[in-house]
Amino acid sequence: MRIGIFGGTFDPPHVGHLLAASDAIEALALDRVLLIPAAQQPLKADSAAAPARDRLAMVRAMVEGDARFAVDPVEIERGGLSYTVETLRVLHERWRADKQLALFLLLGADAAVTLPKWREPEAIAALAEIVVLTRSAHPATVAVGQISGQWITTRRVDLSSTEIRARVRAAKSIHGFVPDKVAAYIAGAGLYR
Ligand code: ATP
């Protein structure tokens, strides 16, 4: 199995996440992408605006019924700071019977530049192929600090969760910024006001 791992705070998940991950599925011929909401991102100073259970529910709502994706609550269930290296070890353990297992760690360019600061970056690179999602053409391989991986070209919608939270706070529409089910969840739970 060729599995993409796409982690994030997903506060909230948005169409930028969805389109970049969809492009990665096609570029890498992945069987599936696991979306893994973090309990707490070690490098994000502020804690998430929405509680973990809401972020998990929104990620589920975003990909519900889409067989290309699965949502994994492993980091939220573990709680505390979410270290990718620990998550990758859990996934390897889960699929240890699959000798063909290939894990691809999908990182936006902004996340990739911080990789040398993550816990055990060399171990991460040994457990998964590092794939940097970028909108522009780049050389096929990339070195992030001491770590090497590959660039792939994916769509990059000019959109962030930060902007969506700000729009909700300002009572602006987020229609089209997030899938409709996510917008309905945000409204129903009264998030980001
Ligand atoms: P925030 O604005 O709260 O920092 P974000 O929109 O950057 O959030 P994250 O949940 O932090 O979202 O991102 C998860 C992953 O998605 C990261 O690897 C990030 O680089 C990538 N990503 C974020 N926004 C986009 C986008 N518009 N297009 C493609 N990838 C994205």
| pLDDT given at position 46 | 79
Smallest CA-to-CA distance from 174 within 189, 154, 160 is with: 160
Tell me the CA–centroid distance for residue 90 and ligand 1, in Å: 23
pLDDT along the chain (193 residues), means of 10: 97 98 98 98 86 98 98 97 98 93 95 93 96 80 76 92 98 98 98 97
Q: Is the bond into 12 cis (omega within 30 degrees of 0)? A: yes
How many Å lie between the centroid of ligand 1 and the Cα of residue 97?
Answer: 32
**Which numbered atom of ligand 1 lies nearest the CA of 15?**
27
Q: How far apart are CA 153 and CA 131, in angstroms?
A: 10
What pLDDT digit, counting tens, does each position of 41-62 carry? 999 877 789 999 999 999 999 9
10-49: per-residue pLDDT in tens? 999 999 999 999 999 999 999 999 999 999 999 987 778 9
- Give the atom of ligand 1 at the shortest distance from the alpha carbon of 159: 27
Whole-number Cα distances in Å, 167 to 14, 153, 178: 13, 28, 12
